């Protein structure tokens, strides 16, 4: 467990030490870089100073006793790798992950598949949001995403700006804690504003070029939804590189291959490449899995297997 010394931080009132003599449990509901806001089970909130690289994130449960903040074990951890290879924690203690896409800007190849695979491997339920459905021509994107993903995960077409299609997402989020990922500009902040009226996130500024705006001071916040459930807003990012995903996990979690569970491949460790008696290549041949989806899988498989080979080499050199 990570330990942090207490410091009073932020613009709010410093913590009253007399309140901290007993052990209290709470939830980090906002992260401001060098301080976190903790909501305690008795409803009280405190700003508590933490080290800049404490590793604590919004959604972490913490325990405070004798002026020391301990992070409690996490139920889930979702990680990603950026283009330079650095690993980042996307979220902790999340139940669901919404992958947001839109006609504009167009999706980066493989982003949605990687996010779904990573979420499933981390024990989260992924779902796909098709935003900006008010834009003419969105119908084509909705049908192609539905044919790729609807058999695997829920797909919600909506418009954050027009406020259409929000009900089914709110229903899905009831009793769950979620976060949205997606490339900059797909409308994640607009969606949070639409789902949690009153939070007033600055549209177009999350993780952006601008040095103003609340996201330069508030790294992340947890928002309770009036209809039940919680959403965490996190800074945007472009790359969802897979972290520690094995070829076996990829073969099991790739969206669209669920049908293969009904008919097993001949080999239990089949990676669905060129193995004889493979049910996936059978489904591709009969058109039940599209060639395009299968090619995306093969690209991810090559990447994951290269990562596995590299890890094995490192082991050897030890």
Per CB under 5 A, which region of 13-21, 193-201, 234-242, 264-272 contacts Zn ion?
Answer: 264-272
Among 6, 31, 79, 188, which residue interacts with ligand GDP (rule: CB under 6 A)?
A: 188
Taking the complex as a whole, how short is the minimal distance between the CB of residue 224 and ligand GDP, in angstroms? Answer: 20
Q: Smallest Cα–Cα separation from 304: which of 316, 315, 296?
A: 296
* Residue 279 lies near ligand GDP (rule: CB under 6 A): no
Among 114, 120, 132, 271, which residue interacts with ligand GDP (rule: CB under 6 A)?
A: 132
Q: Smallest Cα–Cα separation from 170: which of 217, 102, 223, 245?
A: 223
* Residue 98 lies near ligand GDP (rule: CB under 6 A): no
* Residue 270 lies near Zn ion (rule: CB under 5 A): yes
Closer to Zn ion by Cβ: residue 61 or 259? 259
Report how far residue 193's alpha carbon sits from residue 195's, in angstroms, rounded to the nearest whole number: 6
Per CB under 5 A, which region of 71-79, 133-141, 167-175, 263-271 contacts Zn ion?
Answer: 263-271
* Residue 157 lies near ligand GDP (rule: CB under 6 A): no
- Residue 160 site contact among ligand GDP, Zn ion, none (CB < 5 to 8 Å, cut-off depends on kind): ligand GDP
1-37 per-residue burial string, b: 16 or more CB within 10 A, e: under 16: eeebebbebbeeeebeeeebeeebebbbbbbbeebbb
* Residue 190 lies near ligand GDP (rule: CB under 6 A): yes
Taking the complex as a whole, how short is the minimal distance between the CB of residue 80 and ligand GDP, in angstroms? Answer: 16
Among 33, 185, 235, 282, which residue interacts with ligand GDP (rule: CB under 6 A)?
A: 185
* Residue 280 lies near Zn ion (rule: CB under 5 A): yes
- Residue 272 site contact among ligand GDP, Zn ion, none (CB < 5 to 8 Å, cut-off depends on kind): Zn ion
Among 184, 220, 221, 281, which residue interacts with ligand GDP (rule: CB under 6 A)?
A: 184
Contact residues: ligand GDP, CB under 6 A: 131-132, 134-135, 159-161, 182, 184-190, 203-204, 206, 236
Binding site for Zn ion (CB under 5 A): 265, 270, 272, 278, 280
């Amino acid at each position: 467990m990570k330990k942090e010394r207490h410091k009073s931080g932020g613009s709010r009132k410093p913590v009253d030490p007399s309140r901290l003599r007993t052990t209290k449990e709470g939830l980090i509901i906002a992260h401001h870089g060098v301080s976190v806001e903790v909501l305690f089970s008795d409803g009280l909130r405190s700003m508590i100073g933490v080290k800049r690289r404490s590793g604590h994130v919004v959604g972490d449960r913490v325990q405070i006793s004798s002026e020391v903040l301990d992070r409690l074990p996490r139920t889930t951890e979702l990680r990603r790798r950026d283009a330079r290879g650095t690993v980042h924690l996307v979220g902790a203690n999340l139940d669901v992950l919404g992958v947001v896409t839109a006609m504009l800007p167009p999706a980066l190849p493989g982003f949605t598949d990687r996010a779904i695979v990573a979420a499933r491997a981390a024990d989260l339920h992924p779902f796909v949001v098709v935003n900006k459905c008010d834009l003419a021509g969105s119908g084509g994107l909705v049908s192609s995403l539905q044919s790729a993903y609807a058999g695997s995960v829920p797909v919600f077409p909506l418009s954050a700006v027009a406020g259409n299609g929000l009900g089914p997402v709110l229903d899905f989020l009831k009793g769950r804690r979620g976060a949205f990922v997606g490339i900059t500009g797909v409308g994640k902040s607009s969606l949070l504003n639409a789902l949690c009226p009153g939070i007033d996130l600055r549209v177009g500024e999350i993780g952006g070029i601008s040095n103003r705006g609340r996201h330069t001071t508030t790294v992340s916040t947890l928002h309770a939804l009036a209809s039940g459930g919680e959403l965490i807003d996190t800074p945007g990012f472009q790359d969802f590189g897979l972290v520690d995903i094995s070829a076996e996990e990829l073969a099991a979690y790739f969206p669209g291959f669920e049908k293969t569970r009904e008919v097993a491949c001949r080999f239990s460790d089949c990676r669905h490449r060129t193995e004889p008696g493979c049910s996936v290549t059978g489904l591709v041949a009969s058109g039940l899995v599209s060639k395009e989806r299968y090619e995306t899988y093969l690209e991810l498989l090559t990447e994951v297997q290269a990562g596995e080979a590299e890890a094995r080499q490192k082991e050897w050199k030890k």
